[in-house]
Amino acid sequence: MNAKGEMIISGTILLVACSLYFHVAAAFSQYKHHDLVGPALWPKIILFIVIILSGSLFIKNAFIFFKTQKLAQEVASPLEKEGAFMLGLVIILTLLYSLGLPYTGFLFSIICFQFFVLLILKVKKIPILIFYPLGLTLLIYMIFIKFLNITVPRGTGIFLTFSRLFY
């Protein structure tokens, strides 16, 4: 296990975030008439325990890190490096999909999203790249829009016109 990564998680993120949240929770006690069992009580108890536990994890990992830092570091395999790069692209694509959905509408964006995720995941066969997103979109359309009557974004402008052809 990577002690440095563990230190970052248990120390920097958990300890700092929980301390900040504890500070935020302390402000809930402005509800004076409920002070003792007010809204702050429960979050403060939880955060206090998390701070103690993550502090102990941090000390343990710091000890491991300083003791073993001269030893061989964990080296990611080429497959893992490529995987990490792909994951980064998929997350960026997801972000773009979430941001663009209100403007491009559900149907157009979901097909594009699938197409590009397949490309990122190195699917090269053209029939799969075309028919898999279309087939899956049809399935989702039938389940969520036709069967469940879920309201999904229609988009704006030309995308709105396109969406209105279907729902």
- Selected from 12, 23, 42, 92, the binder of other proteins by CB under 8 A is 42
Find tokens 């990992």 and name the residue. Answer: 61
Cβ atoms of 151 and 132 within 8 Å: the answer is: no
Q: Which of 102, 4, 15, 123 is nearest to 61 (CA)?
A: 4
Residue 163: both structure tokens together? 């969406």
The answer to whether residue 131 forms part of the interface with other proteins (CB under 8 A) is no
For residue 70, the minimal CB distance to other proteins (Å) is 22
Point out which span in 46-54, 66-74, 158-166 binds other proteins (CB under 8 A): 46-54
The answer to whether residue 129 forms part of the interface with other proteins (CB under 8 A) is no
The answer to whether residue 75 forms part of the interface with other proteins (CB under 8 A) is no
- Selected from 71, 79, 126, 165, the binder of other proteins by CB under 8 A is 79
The answer to whether residue 11 forms part of the interface with other proteins (CB under 8 A) is no
**By three-state DSSP, how is residue 26 classified?**
helix
User: Angle at CA 95, nearest 5°, toward 89 and 92?
Assistant: 15
Cβ atoms of 109 and 100 within 8 Å: the answer is: yes
Which stretches of 53-131 are assigned E, i.e. beta strand?
Answer: none
For residue 85, the minimal CB distance to other proteins (Å) is 10
> DSSP states of 29-48 as a string?
GG-GGG-TTSTTHHHHHHHH
Q: What is the total count of residues that contact other proteins (CB under 8 A)? A: 64
**Contacts to other proteins by CB under 8 A:** 1, 5-6, 9, 14, 21, 24-25, 28, 31, 34, 36-39, 41-43, 46-47, 49-50, 53-54, 56-57, 77, 79-80, 82-84, 86-87, 90-91, 94-95, 97-98, 101-102, 106, 110, 113-114, 117-118, 121-123, 128, 132-133, 136, 140, 143-144, 147-150, 152-153
